[in-house]
Amino acid sequence: MPEQRVNRRQFIKATGAGALATGIGANIIVPGRARAAKKTLKILQWVHFVPVYDEWFNKKLAKEWGEKNDTEVIVDNIGIAGINPRATAEVSAQKGHDLFLFNWPPPSFEEQTVDMKDVYQEVEKKIGKPIDLCIKSTYNPKTKKYFAFSPSFTPDPVNYRQDLWSQVGMPNGPKTWDEVRTVGAKIKKQFGNPVGIGLANEIDTAMALRTIMYAHGSHEQDAAGNLTLNSKQTLETIKFVKALFQETMTDEVFTWDASSNNRAMIAGKLSLALNAISITRTAEKENPENSKKIQLTKALKGSVRAIGLEHVMQCYVVWKFSENIDGAKKFLVDYTTNFRQAFVAGEFYDFPCWPKSVPDISKLIANDPKGHPADKYKVLDDVLEWATNVGYPGYANAAIDEIYSTWVLNVMFAKAASGAASPEDALKEADAQCRRIFGKWKEKKMV
Amino acid sequence: MSHDTVTSEAHARAPARTRRLAFLIDRPQWLGAVMIAPAVLYIALVVGLPFFLALYYSLTDITAGSRTLEFVGLRNFAAIIDTPKFQTAVQNTFIFAIGSQVVVIVLATVLALALMKDFRGKWLVRLLILLPWVAPMSLGSIGWLWIFDSIYSVINWTLEAAGLITADDWPMYLGKPYLAMASVITVHVWRLLPLATVILLAGLTSIPKEIHDAAQVDGAGFWRHLFQVTLPLVRPIMLVATLFGLVFAFTDMIVIFVLTRGGPYDTTQVLSTLAFFTGIQGGDLAEGAAIAVSLFPMLMAVAIVFLRIARRTEVI
């Protein structure tokens, strides 16, 4: 076989043509590659409680927004327990998602987030002002920075068994915490169904106990961010929770995780629980008969006021190391100003922080095809007025976040309720912990 | 360069490579180093690096959301050491680790001795014993969460069906301090038992049969044989198994995180979970790191003592 020699000129021609053909050819075969300059927007979301919401967000909203803005939108969904570890890892690596959703205020990440003031201004220009809860959960008055942006929150109403409460003359459920105590005890005695306010190291407990505290005029901090836990009101609240536990509940509230009260309510065990509308929505799917018995009522009045907490606070941050800061901000503006779609897709789980973003909210919740009766969720009509943030009347700052995350108040109430400590000692111990935590974050100039 | 030169060089290269390989194989000191290098590299990257990073973080003021950090010396350690939360966590860590290890060693010895005997279906028993070890820890713990659940506990359903308890007095396994600690220890024992059993089984198998025969000829009964012959001979390997188990128990957080998150009212809070809640959930990475590494000196001392005793008692 004769040897074929290739000179340098022929080699360069052949490889050049090959490279050109490979580049162009690939773009002809794979059209997406033709637009090499297309931007990317990476979003991290939690796995939503309502699966249809994720379907809508990932497959419809993200796709349509991407097409409109010449951007490839990539959405990753992770479980709620993985959010903080994931955020810490992204900060450590200085790489990750352009838009990152926390399900609670993330003040300790402030240093790494872009100021969202312009997003607030842009949205405000289009649909007016947000509710106070929104600002209190995403703004640091000390540094004057919006470390996150919140389009929505999940309310934490009272879920009660109408069939049981009707039999003791209260078909519309309790209106005050004192009624929960006295009538709840009566129901427990008569029908064997206890009240279900958690006393465990978990988030539903943390929310419910703060709701009782705020309703009774007890707070971790004042409006200016000064620690105020050690007060007469807190001591009275601890005594109230102790009595509430002894008279209306059972030991199982010490065992709970975040989904236990859902399960207990749907199983028909409890007479009352505080939770998002996840209880009623799950019951509608899994136990429709029981769902007719579970109704909702507004925030209950304590000795000072009627107030409720957010159950989940959707707080988006844009990292300083994000590769598409502008895209992330634009997505947030568009998402928030058109929040009605999200509200419907999430089956009313997420309520708007910007009232005008769902102008017909009253009409929507007054006629829900899945609810029994159809106006079951109408009770949440004024939730934007009575829902508040963790850390009320102050802002959700880094110290409040650590107190929340290390279960300081959960343990305080649980110790007193179980008799492991006197109310005075439980308060003293919790106050000492809060003092140390506040001091630490003040030193870091975050509070 | 001509075509022929290239070919002859290629030919010459192959024997040179073989010669180098032969040099390596013929010298155990080099071969040993090369063979162990991947393991050392793995430990350095996956264990060493995070450990030294944690140690470094514990001496700074780093938070979950910050990249700038200042050296603060032992301030984080000084801040946590007097807090009741930390002290409770230290106490719980010891109860959890030592409690689970005592049970593990006793049960593993019984199981290993039983598995030394020949019986029908031995392979199936061995397989079943190993199952908890191969199952992912988090999944196993979630399974146990359901077993201890306040509404759907299979234990309570069974006890009630057997008429031993009534619906009104169901034990709340994760709701009472002692029951909760016993529950997390049970799950940890379930998880660690296979490893300890396999290690002890290996130790028992390595005892020469003549020693057992001699003991039998001398008329030693079961207990005397066990305590004066078998156990002293497996003591070194038993110490290694205990050390493994202790280190696992001191550092593991999955069982407690899934089952109780430290509750009821911090009575099962251990150092690893407290470090996670403070550092990752609460955002104070420096203090979380200080909590996490606070037991290191003690663990190191325990490891040194155990390994020394193991070496001294090595008789096989």
pLDDT in tens, A167-203: 999 999 999 999 999 999 999 999 999 999 999 999 9
Minimal CA separation from A33 to chain B, in Å: 36
Q: At residue A34, does pLDDT exceed 50? A: no
Of A201, A269, A418, the CB nearest to B262: A201
| Yes or no, beta carbons of B264 and A111 under 8 Å apart | no
- The Cα–Cα gap between A106 and B44 comes to 33
Question: Cβ atoms within 10 A of the Cβ of B131, count?
Answer: 11
Of A109, A250, A405, the CB nearest to B281: A405
Of B65, B262, B278, the CB nearest to A109: B65
Q: Give backbone dihedrals phi and psi of A370, rounded to 5 degrees, phi first.
A: -90, -20
| Residue B75 sits at the chain A interface (C-beta within 8 Å) | no
- The Cα–Cα gap between A309 and B123 comes to 57
Of A88, A251, A254, the CB nearest to B64: A88
| Yes or no, beta carbons of B283 and A111 under 8 Å apart | no
Minimal CA separation from A361 to chain B, in Å: 34
Q: Are B95 and B183 a contacting pair, CB within 8 Å?
A: no
- Distance between the two ends of chain B, CA-based, in angstroms? 64
Instruction: Output DSSP code: residue A430.
Output: H
CA nearest to B68 within chain A: A111
Task: Record the tokens describing residue B243, joined without a space.
Answer: 């050390």
Q: At residue A410, does pLDDT exceed 80? A: yes
| Yes or no, beta carbons of B150 and A401 under 8 Å apart | no
Report how many Cβ contacts below 8 Å link chain A to chain B.
139
Task: Record the tokens describing residue A351, joined without a space.
Answer: 């309520």
What's the Cα-to-Cα distance from B291 to each of A364, B68, B245, B273, rounded to whole Å? 50, 21, 21, 10
> Residue A32 — pLDDT band, cuts 50, 70, 90?
very low
B285 CB burial (10 A radius; 0-12, 13-18, 19+): buried
| Residue B87 sits at the chain A interface (C-beta within 8 Å) | no
The residue-averaged pLDDT of A43-53 equals 92
- The Cα–Cα gap between B58 and A445 comes to 19
Minimal CA separation from A108 to chain B, in Å: 6
| Yes or no, beta carbons of B67 and A253 under 8 Å apart | no
Of B61, B64, B260, the CB nearest to A91: B64
Q: Are B315 and B305 a contacting pair, CB within 8 Å?
A: no
The residue-averaged pLDDT of B165-189 equals 93
| Yes or no, beta carbons of B261 and A433 under 8 Å apart | no
Please list the residues that pair with A74 across neighbouring strands: A42
Q: Are B253 and B273 a contacting pair, CB within 8 Å?
A: yes
Minimal CA separation from A414 to chain B, in Å: 6
A416, containing H or E segment: helix A408-418
Q: How many residues are there in chain B?
A: 316
> Strand A139-140 relative to strand A145-146: parallel, antiparallel, unpaired?
antiparallel
Sign of CA dihedral B272, B274, B276, B279: negative
Of A108, A407, A415, the CB nearest to B262: A407
| Yes or no, beta carbons of A405 and B278 under 8 Å apart | yes
The pLDDT, as a whole number, for residue A179 is 97
| Yes or no, beta carbons of B175 and A253 under 8 Å apart | yes
Residues in chain A with CB shorter than 8 Å from the CB of B174 are 254-255
Sign of CA dihedral A258, A263, A269, A273: positive
The pLDDT, as a whole number, for residue A337 is 97
- Distance between the two ends of chain A, CA-based, in angstroms? 83
The pLDDT, as a whole number, for residue A26 is 42
- The Cα–Cα gap between B64 and B50 comes to 15
Spell out the residues 6+ positions from residue B205 whose beta carbon is closer than 8 angstroms to its own: B116
| Yes or no, beta carbons of B264 and A112 under 8 Å apart | no
- The Cα–Cα gap between A202 and B260 comes to 9
The pLDDT, as a whole number, for residue A280 is 93
Q: Are A152 and A353 a contacting pair, CB within 8 Å?
A: yes
- The Cα–Cα gap between A265 and A158 comes to 12
- The Cα–Cα gap between A306 and A341 comes to 30
Sign of CA dihedral A139, A140, A141, A144: negative
Instruction: Output DSSP code: residue B226.
Output: I
Q: At residue A215, does pLDDT exceed 80? A: yes
- The Cα–Cα gap between B215 and B221 comes to 9
Question: Cβ atoms within 10 A of the Cβ of A25, count?
Answer: 11
B21, containing H or E segment: helix B3-26
Interface probe with A: pick from B274, B284, B285, B291, most Cβ of A within 10 Å: B284
- The Cα–Cα gap between B289 and B279 comes to 7
What's the Cα-to-Cα distance from A372 to each of A204, A285, A383, rounded to whole Å? 25, 12, 20
Please list the residues that pair with A73 across neighbouring strands: A41
| Yes or no, beta carbons of B283 and A108 under 8 Å apart | yes
What's the Cα-to-Cα distance from A395 to each of A107, A212, A232, A432, B106, rounded to whole Å? 10, 18, 22, 21, 54
Residue of B43, B72, B68, B65 whose CA lies nearest to B290:
B72
| Yes or no, beta carbons of B264 and A414 under 8 Å apart | yes
The pLDDT, as a whole number, for residue A149 is 98
| Yes or no, beta carbons of B278 and A87 under 8 Å apart | no
| Yes or no, beta carbons of B264 and A418 under 8 Å apart | yes
**Helix residue spans in A267-397 (DSSP H):** 278-286, 288-293, 325-337, 339-345, 361-366, 383-386
**DSSP calls for A116-159:** -HHHHHHHHHHH-PPPHHHHHHHEETTTTEE--EEEEEEE--EE
The residue-averaged pLDDT of A249-253 equals 94
Q: Are A224 and A394 a contacting pair, CB within 8 Å?
A: yes
Instruction: Output DSSP code: residue A200.
Output: S
Of B83, B174, B285, the CB nearest to A255: B174
The pLDDT, as a whole number, for residue B167 is 81
- The Cα–Cα gap between A78 and A326 comes to 24
Name residues 190-249 of chain B within 8 A of A (Cβ).
none
| Yes or no, beta carbons of B284 and A402 under 8 Å apart | yes
Of B152, B274, B282, the CB nearest to A402: B282
Q: Are A411 and B266 a contacting pair, CB within 8 Å?
A: yes
What is the tens place of the pLDDT at every residue in A330-374? 999 999 999 999 999 999 999 999 999 999 999 999 999 888 899
- Strand A158-161's sheet: what is its strand order? A195-196, A272-274, A158-161, A294-297
Burial B221-244 (b: 16+ CB within 10 A, else e): eeeebeeebbbebbbbbbbbbbbb
> Strand A71-78 relative to strand A139-140: parallel, antiparallel, unpaired?
unpaired
> Residue A30 — pLDDT band, cuts 50, 70, 90?
very low
What is the tens place of the pLDDT at every residue in B241-287? 898 889 889 988 999 999 999 989 999 999 999 999 999 988 899 99
| Yes or no, beta carbons of A406 and B274 under 8 Å apart | yes
Q: At residue A400, does pLDDT exceed 90? A: yes
The pLDDT, as a whole number, for residue A25 is 42
Sign of CA dihedral A72, A76, A77, A82: negative
Residues in chain B with CB shorter than 8 Å from the CB of A420 are 177, 265
| Yes or no, beta carbons of A252 and B262 under 8 Å apart | no
Minimal CA separation from B44 to chain A, in Å: 19
Residues in chain B with CB shorter than 8 Å from the CB of A257 are 145, 261
Minimal CA separation from A207 to chain B, in Å: 16
- The Cα–Cα gap between A428 and A416 comes to 11
Q: Are A191 and A395 a contacting pair, CB within 8 Å?
A: no
Q: Are A358 and A346 a contacting pair, CB within 8 Å?
A: no
Higher pLDDT, A213 or A5: A213
